[in-house]
Amino acid sequence: MDSQQSHIGASRNARITRYEPNGRQPRGTSADVRLSLPARPENVAVIRHVLGAFAEALRIPPEQVEDMRLAITEACTNVVRHAYYRESEPGPIDVIIRPDDERLHLIVSDRGEGIGPSPDADGPGLGLPLIAALADSVEIQPGPTRGSRLSMSFTRRPHVGAA
């Protein structure tokens, strides 16, 4: 099967790969979805939608898709609120959605101050603890020059129900 190119808003090309009905990737195609969008609230919904559609194409159970969507919403909202708060124009949210046979890996990066509470916050928020409660693993690393990279993974559960 051929892969599709999708242009989303002001982002670079997002590569979306078609999957066979059994949820397996056809040979010879890349499975990653990569998005780079301005860190604006309306783009969090775009990222959430792309993740949901991709996870459903992988036949991940709806309850697990909702957990993934909530986790990526929290991570991206953190970037929108905190990573570029000193800048007049928001920088990018970079997202990678990477499946393998056992897990779906989600990576959210910024090139600003990094994710986490901003100095005007009264302490840690609930976003990062919520992500940690939803995902099977979470890792936060500094970006190569600035910003941060939050990696989370979800063990793929089998889809139960009508095909």
Give domain limits for the chain. 4-19+31-155
Q: Of 9 and 54, which is predicted with more confidence?
A: 54
Q: Is the pLDDT of residue 101 over 90?
A: no
Cβ contacts of 118 within 8 Å, gap of 6 or more? 81, 82, 85
Q: Over the stretch 102-127, which tens digit does the pLDDT of each residue have?
A: 999 999 999 998 876 555 556 557 78
User: Taking the model in full, what pTM does it have?
Assistant: 0.75
Q: What is the pLDDT of residue 99?
A: 94
The pair phi, psi for residue 145, each rounded to 5°, is -125, -40
68 near 154, Cβ under 8 Å? yes
CATH number of 4-19+31-155: 3.30.565.10
Q: Give 92's strand partners.
A: 38
Res 23: pLDDT: 45
